[in-house]
Amino acid sequence: MLFANDVVLVDESRAGVNMKLELWRHTLESRGFRLSRTKTEYMICDFSLTRHEDGDVSLEGQVVAKKDIFRYLGSMLQKDGDIEEDVRHRISAGWLKWRQASGVLCDKKVPQRLKGKFYRTAIRPAMLYGVECWPTKTRHVQQLSVAKMRMPRWFCGHTRRDRVRNEEIRDRVGVAPIG
């Protein structure tokens, strides 16, 4: 059994989406692929104030699940076009990488410059993946900057209460600011 993943069908009307979905299903099945009914989902984008038609998207009479947020090619898409979930997801991905490497990053025997180099090559890219495509707002940059500074502070052994400036920590580990 073969599956095709990560396909997007776009149309301005629900009837158009239903038609494209049936055409896609027929084309795939005629070539030996199978369209998963349980994994297929749809999202209505509310980028404007226009009213959308009622009804469901269906595949061979079976209603397709409607989502407000879903993952597509590593990004979190939201129906209102905002990127809050994507920012949260990227920060979580950075912390996940951090936890995987915490044995090295929290080891006092490892030099801080080496920790900084590891941070720049493994953790920071996980956190900033896809950021260049985002319509960022100041608060998104701020959220990423805060998360990005918490990690070097942690592996330097400082908290905000120690009142060590961010510039000093960045110089110590060789990390540049985000913004």
Amino acid code (one letter) for 137:
K
Q: Does the pLDDT at position 100 exceed 70?
A: yes
Q: How far apart are CA 161 and CA 166, in angstroms?
A: 12
pLDDT digits (tens, 9 = 90+) for 149-173: 999 999 888 988 999 999 999 999 8
pLDDT band for position 101 (cuts 50, 70, 90): very high
Closest Cα to residue 64, out of 112, 135, 7, 117? 7
Q: Does the pLDDT at position 3 exceed 70?
A: no
DSSP code, position 53: P
| pLDDT of the residue at 49 | 67
pLDDT digits (tens, 9 = 90+) for 112-150: 999 999 999 999 999 998 888 888 899 999 999 999 899
Residues counted in the chain: 179
Q: How far apart are CA 69 and CA 48, in angstroms?
A: 17
pLDDT digits (tens, 9 = 90+) for 44-98: 887 766 666 677 888 888 888 888 888 877 788 888 888 999 999 999 999 999 9
| pLDDT of the residue at 51 | 65
DSSP code, position 49: S
